[in-house]
Amino acid sequence: MNIAVLAGGTSGEREISLRSGAAVAKALQTKGHVVTLVDPLDGLDLIDTGTDVVFPALHGAGGEDGTIQMELEKRGIAYVGSDSVASALCFDKWAYRDRLRETGLPIAEGEMVNAQSFWRSPLSKKPYVLKPVDGGSTIDTFIVRDPTNADQQKIKEALARYDEMLLEELVEGIEITVGVLGDQALPPVEIIPPEGGEFDYENKYNGKTRELCPAENIGDAAQKKAKSLALRAHAVAGCKDLSRTDIIVRKDGSQVILETNTLPGMTGQSLYPKAAAAAGIGFADLVDRLVAMATV
């Protein structure tokens, strides 16, 4: 098939997207497809009229927030991944939380805050996570275990960059992420940050975070439960083809959903391809299967 891989874009996650796009394009070429890399920054008119499928390897605003998806829908072009409505829902972490809450899925306590209300919130007085309501790759995300020792200056700077941010309780436990491929939940990946560190932007991409797949520190029952939660979150949000849901497993065995990513990373360090590999699906087969799903 003729496939256009979208990579780059204008978000803060541009560099990760370019890496994802290059990996996807190379893998699809090994499957015999004719592949063109297109940077949305240069305009979607570069997509050839003979393109059979578009593979968005995009992250962040303008890439996975439903904008590109809506434009492709207007043009009647088949593409990999969730439609514009589901993409927009999962990108807006507050709207996503509301949808999960409505259906009884477990989420962390949280609220929207601004530069003034954050400091007054009871949630800011105990261990918390402060993050943009949209975006990804843990950019501008603060994981604070001791509020008395938080970097207040950096937090003030982040709050000044956004009209509002999402403040959530810090749920203690083992962090895992569960990919969904079609109607199949992939093996959970256990995320172990470096000792004394967090799974933040730096540790996500510097190779210091350990990623175990299948997960080693949660039992079979917990893994089965996590897969079920990921499949439910995928369905409730209206996702299609692929997604990756982040979950915390508490010591008491209860689980809390953090968020669902509709266009998970596809780099050599990315968690979604790692989970697929654990399920016996190589990277080239993975992206080829996703292309096939988009044409159904």
Annotated catalytic residue, options 62, 205, 232, 238: 205
Q: How far apart are CA 53 and CA 56, in angstroms?
A: 10
Going 174 to 180 to 183 to 188, the CA torsion angle's sign is negative
Residue type, 256: V
What lies within 8 Å, CB to CB, of 147 at 6+ separation is: 124, 125, 126, 127, 128
What lies within 8 Å, CB to CB, of 23 at 6+ separation is: 57, 266, 267, 268, 283
Number of C-beta neighbours around residue 232 at 10 A: 17
Annotated catalytic residue, options 136, 246, 270, 288: 246
Q: How far is CA 104 from the centre of its chain?
A: 21
244 is catalytic: yes
Q: What is the maximum alpha-carbon separation in the chain?
A: 58
259 is catalytic: yes
Annotated catalytic residue, options 190, 265, 272, 288: 265
13 is catalytic: yes
Q: How far apart are CA 140 and CA 154, in angstroms?
A: 9
What token pair was written down for 30? Answer: 């090994």
246 is catalytic: yes
Annotated catalytic residue, options 8, 9, 11, 13: 13
Number of C-beta neighbours around residue 72 at 10 A: 21
Q: How far apart are CA 131 and CA 96, in angstroms?
A: 14
Annotated catalytic residue, options 110, 244, 272, 289: 244
Q: Quick check: helix, strand or coil at residue 124?
A: helix
Number of C-beta neighbours around residue 220 at 10 A: 8
205 is catalytic: yes
Provide the angle, in degrees to the nearest 10, between the axes of the packed helices 220-236 and 93-102: 110
Annotated catalytic residue, options 20, 137, 243, 270: 137
Annotated catalytic residue, options 243, 259, 272, 289: 259
261 is catalytic: yes
Residues annotated as part of the active site: 13, 137, 205, 244, 246, 259, 261, 265
